[in-house]
């Protein structure tokens, strides 16, 4: 057997090779990357062509030859062997059966050797076509007890989270836990979950701390750097859980707002609000309260809530007075002029007549607007307002309509009063909040119509920008002198500083609804209108202004 250089394109494939199944694209990409980085480590084996030919047949190394061609190599080193009677079939089979992939522990030792020779983790990752995260994971094995390494070398590896927990513990701690959980002769499998649980220590991270260095020193907190954490975040932590939580509690006590309380949490990490309290998800008002609490990771969180208004006693101010006369006996009630059934029939008659009049009778524009406001003051109307309260037509909404009446209880108004009443009613009804008060797409249509985009606040704040993903945050740098930084928090800080003197509104906050969603909404409303036309009450309206206005509205919407 001797070594020569040949053009890989001149070599012929062995028709009797053992591996006929195509390799995966990932395996081919890995081999191609290693060839580009360090060349072909093990030369392919070739034999002279049988039958008098002048060429060579590949005996072992078809994938290496193929990827060498893909890498653009003009020549490669090959070993020339004598041709066998079976065309190398037995030799190929023995080679593939005897081959064993390198176990993770040996991979780690090889990586450490390369690092000692000056290779960086990034360069090793490129050469082996492995992510740097995998290289860092293997390097965790340097902190693992040798007895555990022996089991890992057999292919019994813990998952990444378990490996991180094991590597973070000291060797003495690992030794004690290993005595309890090392495998027995009858069951060689290691319960890595049990090992990791025995070494588990709760970590409280510095990036979650609201307190400063003074409280950290007072509670004996010492920060430890996690060397294997991502480089773009503060990875300092402490296992002094009690001290960390104590410092957080003291910070909350010192920074509690006037209407604030320190709340507890449930077993699921949810905050416990006072009884009957209603959580506020939007912008709080001055009368709202604040609850501060610690979440499962020890971070200080705060929510706003409001308490229900005290209910007025029934019967007015004199209800329950001590001097109220006692009942002296029952007095028989006279029979009403109209029975209950008759009253219900009158209600049906009135409703039919009102609908008929609304559909046919001439109504001026100002009167039509006033009637629309009155409709919201009806007892059958309730609105979950944008501020989170529930207004009923006979209460808060009726107050908005009361300005349209004179002292004698007659409708009497001017256009200015009508406009104020209409605006107040719309303020109470429309809401874009992402909770039960959401008016849906109609509120966004209204906002676009009246130019509410101009009233949106500056969103270039830490609170809002922290809600954006990296691509969205970097997209916000467009048309600004701010350039994206390597760390997300640096980019965000630069944007916050820039927008102190400017006004930023994220495109997703604009009122204009998505055209596709608007089209779907109009289609669904048109389908509902078609179904309503079949209803007897609507059909009885007949010809007139109502139908003409409805048709004009549909045409305008389309």
d(CA 174, CA 149): 12
Which range is least confidently modeled, 54-58, 178-182, 257-261, 437-441? 437-441
Q: Is 90 found in the same domain as 31?
A: yes
Please give the average per-residue pLDDT across 517-535, as a whole number.
67
Please give the average per-residue pLDDT across 133-145, as a whole number.
86
Q: Is 233 found in the same domain as 273?
A: no
- Asked if residues 467 and 476 have their Cβ atoms less than 8 Å apart, the reply is no
Query: Token pair 């509670």 is at which residue?
Result: 219
Q: Is 88 found in the same domain as 6?
A: yes
pLDDT band at 390 (very low <50, low <70, confident <90, very high): low
Per the structure, the count of domains in the chain is 5
238 occurs within a structural domain: yes
Please give the average per-residue pLDDT across 259-285, as a whole number.
86
CB within 8 Å of 159: residues ≥ 6 apart: 192
- For the cut 90, the answer to whether the pLDDT of residue 323 exceeds it is no
79 occurs within a structural domain: yes
Top-confidence residue, 389 or 102: 102
- For the cut 80, the answer to whether the pLDDT of residue 357 exceeds it is no
Instruction: Indicate the helix (H) or strand (E) that contains 262.
Output: strand 260-262
Please give the average per-residue pLDDT across 119-142, as a whole number.
82
- Percent of the chain surpassing pLDDT 90: 8
d(CA 123, CA 129): 10
Q: Is 136 found in the same domain as 56?
A: no
Q: Is 121 found in the same domain as 187?
A: yes
- For the cut 70, the answer to whether the pLDDT of residue 388 exceeds it is no
Q: Is 192 found in the same domain as 110?
A: yes
Top-confidence residue, 543 or 286: 286
Top-confidence residue, 249 or 408: 249
What CATH number has the domain bearing residue 10? 3.90.1530.10
Which range among 150-164, 349-363, 411-425 has the greatest average pLDDT?
150-164
- For the cut 50, the answer to whether the pLDDT of residue 536 exceeds it is no
Q: In this predicted structure, what is the pLDDT of residue 527?
A: 65
Please give the average per-residue pLDDT across 140-152, as a whole number.
87
What residues does 6 pair with on adjacent strands?
76
- For the cut 70, the answer to whether the pLDDT of residue 40 exceeds it is yes
Task: Give the closest residue to 91 by CA, choosing from 2, 14, 28.
Answer: 14
pLDDT band at 182 (very low <50, low <70, confident <90, very high): confident
pLDDT band at 513 (very low <50, low <70, confident <90, very high): confident
Q: Is 110 found in the same domain as 163?
A: yes
First to last CA, the chain: 83
**Could you say which of 37, 70, 98 is where a domain stops?**
98
Q: What is the mean pLDDT of the chain?
A: 76
Please give the average per-residue pLDDT across 129-151, as a whole number.
85
246 occurs within a structural domain: yes
**Could you say which of 45, 73, 98 is where a domain stops?**
98
Please give the average per-residue pLDDT across 1-20, as a whole number.
77
400 occurs within a structural domain: no
d(CA 304, CA 281): 7
Please give the average per-residue pLDDT across 113-127, as a whole number.
83
pLDDT band at 38 (very low <50, low <70, confident <90, very high): confident
Top-confidence residue, 61 or 50: 61
DSSP 409: S
* Each residue's pLDDT tens digit, 467-507: 888 888 888 888 888 888 888 888 889 888 888 888 888 88
Q: What domain range includes position 232?
A: 202-252
d(CA 458, CA 500): 9
Q: Is 499 found in the same domain as 485?
A: yes
* Each residue's pLDDT tens digit, 238-266: 888 888 999 999 999 999 988 889 998 88
**Could you say which of 98, 124, 153 is where a domain stops?**
98
Which range among 238-242, 334-338, 381-385 has the greatest average pLDDT?
238-242
Which range is least confidently modeled, 34-43, 235-244, 263-272, 371-380? 371-380
Please give the average per-residue pLDDT across 340-354, as a whole number.
71
pLDDT band at 302 (very low <50, low <70, confident <90, very high): very high
- Asked if residues 14 and 62 have their Cβ atoms less than 8 Å apart, the reply is yes
- For the cut 70, the answer to whether the pLDDT of residue 26 exceeds it is yes
- For the cut 70, the answer to whether the pLDDT of residue 168 exceeds it is yes
């Amino acid at each position: 057997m001797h070594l020569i250089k040949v053009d890989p394109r001149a070599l012929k494939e062995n028709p009797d090779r053992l591996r006929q199944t195509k390799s995966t694209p990932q395996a081919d990409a890995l081999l191609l990357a290693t060839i580009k980085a360090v060349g072909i480590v093990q030369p392919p084996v070739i034999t002279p062509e049988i039958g008098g030919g002048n060429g060579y047949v590949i005996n072992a190394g078809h994938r290496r030859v193929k990827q060498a061609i893909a890498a653009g190599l003009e020549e490669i080193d090959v070993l020339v062997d004598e041709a066998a009677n079976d065309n190398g079939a037995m030799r190929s089979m023995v080679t593939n059966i005897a081959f064993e992939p390198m176990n993770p522990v040996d991979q780690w030792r090889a990586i450490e050797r390369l690092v000692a020779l000056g290779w960086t983790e990034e360069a090793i990752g490129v050469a082996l076509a492995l992510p740097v995260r995998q290289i860092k994971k293997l390097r965790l094995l340097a902190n693992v007890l040798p007895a555990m390494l022996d089991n890992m070398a057999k292919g019994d590896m813990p998952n990444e989270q378990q490996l991180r927990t094991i590597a973070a513990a000291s060797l003495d701690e690992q030794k004690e836990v290993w005595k309890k959980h090392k495998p027995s002769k009858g069951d060689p499998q290691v319960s890595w979950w049990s090992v990791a649980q025995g070494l588990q220590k709760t970590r409280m991270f510095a990036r979650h701390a609201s307190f400063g260095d003074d409280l950290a020193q007072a509670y004996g907190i010492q920060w430890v750097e996690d060397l294997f954490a991502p480089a773009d975040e503060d990875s300092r932590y402490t296992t002094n859980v009690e001290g960390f939580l104590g410092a957080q509690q003291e910070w909350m006590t010192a920074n509690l707002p006037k209407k604030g309380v320190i709340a507890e949490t449930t077993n699921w990490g949810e905050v416990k609000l006072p009884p009957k309290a209603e959580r506020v998800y939007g912008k709080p008002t001055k009368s709202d309260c604040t609850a501060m609490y610690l979440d499962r990771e020890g971070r200080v969180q705060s929510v706003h809530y409001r308490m229900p208004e005290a209910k007025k006693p029934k019967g007015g101010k004199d209800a329950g007075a001590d001097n109220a006369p006692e009942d002296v006996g029952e007095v028989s009630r006279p029979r009403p002029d109209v029975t209950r059934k008759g009253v219900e029939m009158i209600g049906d008659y009135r409703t039919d007549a009102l609908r008929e009049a609304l559909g046919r009778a001439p109504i001026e524009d100002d009167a039509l607007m006033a009637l629309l406001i009155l409709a919201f003051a009806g007892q059958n109307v309730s609105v979950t307002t944008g501020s989170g309260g529930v207004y009923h037509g006979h209460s808060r909404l009726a107050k908005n309509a009361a300005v349209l009446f004179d002292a004698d209880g007659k409708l009497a108004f001017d256009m200015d009063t009508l406009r104020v009443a209409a605006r107040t009613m719309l303020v109470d009804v429309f809401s874009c909040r992402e909770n039960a008060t959401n008016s849906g797409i109609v509120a966004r249509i209204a906002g676009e119509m009246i130019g509410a985009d101009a009233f949106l606040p500056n969103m270039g704040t830490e609170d809002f920008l922290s809600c954006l993903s990296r691509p969205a945050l970097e997209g916000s740098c467009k048309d600004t002198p701010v350039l994206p930084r390597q760390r997300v928090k640096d980019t965000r800080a630069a944007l916050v500083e820039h927008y102190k003197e400017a006004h930023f509104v994220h495109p997703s906050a604009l009122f204009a609804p998505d055209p596709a969603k608007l089209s779907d909404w109009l289609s669904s409303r048109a389908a509902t209108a078609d179904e309503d036309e079949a209803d007897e009450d609507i059909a009885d309206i007949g010809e007139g202004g109502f139908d003409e206005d409805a048709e004009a509205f549909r045409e305008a919407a389309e």
